[in-house]
Amino acid sequence: MAPSRMNRLGLALLSLGHLTVDLNPGALPALLPVLFVDLQLSYTTAAVVVTVANLTSSVIQPVFGWIADRVSHRWLLPLGCFVSSAGFALATQAPSYGVLLALIVCSSLGVAVYHPEAARAANAFAGARKASGMALFVVGGSFGYALGPVVLGALLAAYGRPGAVGFLAMAVLVPPLLAIALPRLSQAPARAPRRAKTGGAAPATGSRRVMALLVAVIVFRQSAHMGLATFIPLYFVNHLGQPPTVATQLLAALLFGGVVGTLAGGPVADRWGRKPVLTGTLFLSVPLLFLFLGSSGAVALAVLFVAGAIMVGTFSVTVVMGQELMPERTALAAGLTVGLSVGMAGIVAALLGRVADTLGIAQTMLLITLLPLPGALLSLALPDTLRRAPRLAAAGR
């Protein structure tokens, strides 16, 4: 296989690992109602569990990225999968709040360990089609996050809280597969190769200013997405009086729209450029979200599906943009664009709760629809790290 071609098997394995680690944070919100009763939690202590999980799994990622860029630690991949799944499976059986927090921190550290090293390897596996390859990697995480509540719900319905320990199955099955198979694939070198400069790509300056700008753009995008995922159930059930099934269907539309968008966003960005796709989707998401708030029934589901697709569809694109800005530090770039950015967005989403308490949930939903707009305006100042890529044809498109 030519070096410039994507190693799809390697990307598929990394995507499977990504699904495994993100299955757990995706399932956590669905676990809280059970623990709320069994461990006698309050709304505050339940919120602390989610906040601790988000901060532990995201903000620390740049540290692991910095380590991975200096000395490749392939064993971090199976370790991250095992710790994430085993920690969460044990957390479902926690006998007390203190034990619950400790196990959630453990599980979240597994998530933080996996992402930077996996994104570095995915960049190497992707060959010339960086955004397309990264999309294949990212879609595993998007699907796992969306699948988490479904899997947990099925286990709880069939076996009650003890059945949730079934998450241990992923800890047993996937890490050995990664440990055995990934080292045998020659397309993912121990360190990402130095990338030759090409006429079609913007200079990879690694500028801290540009990277900070990209992180800010991602924070606005992710804040809108997290805000929707957090407040859609409260808005439709508590404010509009809709049945809980409506909120569940809307969340499913948002999350699975992101899965479809991820698969489509990478190839589009490889053909038309990173910046046009990022800026265009951010601007487009604002009227779509306004349309969603003004619609109902099947129309609301369809519009939210499309909005989820175009917002999450640029997730892999922004990871690649960060790696192209920092070509010698691809794991650190992933830690910043995935971990730090998402962690900061989680803090913004939490602050939106204060806004809802002060101004009301309806006004908060209107604010959420506007959050992509500052990100779109800031993205206009970003360099396009890849303006079209005519070399793709020669690279074996």
Q: What's the confidence (pLDDT) of residue 188?
A: 42
388: its two tokens: 């079209």
Domain residue spans of the chain: 1-188, 205-390
The residue that leads in pLDDT, 195 or 84, is: 84
Please state which architecture CATH assigns to domain 205-390.
Up-down Bundle (1.20)
Q: What are phi and psi of 239, to 5 degrees?
A: -90, -45
At position 111, the amino acid (one-letter code) is V
Closest CA to 76 of 182, 187, 186: 182
d(CA 315, CA 266): 9
Q: Give the three-class secondary structure for 386.
A: strand
**CATH code for residues 1-188:** 1.20.1250.20
Each residue's pLDDT tens digit, 226-240: 888 878 877 887 778
Residue 255's nearest CA partner among 169, 144, 330 is 144
Question: Would you say the CATH fold of 205-390 matches that of 1-188?
Answer: yes
pTM (whole model) above 0.75: no
Integer Cα distance of 339 and 21 in angstroms: 14
Is residue 131 within 8 A of residue 392, CB to CB? The reply is: no
Tell me how far apart the alpha carbons of residues 163 and 27 are, in angstroms, rounded to a whole number: 14
Per-residue pLDDT, averaged over 18-27, amounts to 91
Cβ atoms of 259 and 146 within 8 Å: the answer is: yes
Q: What are phi and psi of 386, to 5 degrees?
A: -150, 110
**DSSP-derived 3-state class of residue 54:** helix
Q: What are the pLDDT digits (tens) for 59-118? A: 788 887 777 777 666 788 899 999 999 999 999 999 999 999 999 999 999 998 898 888
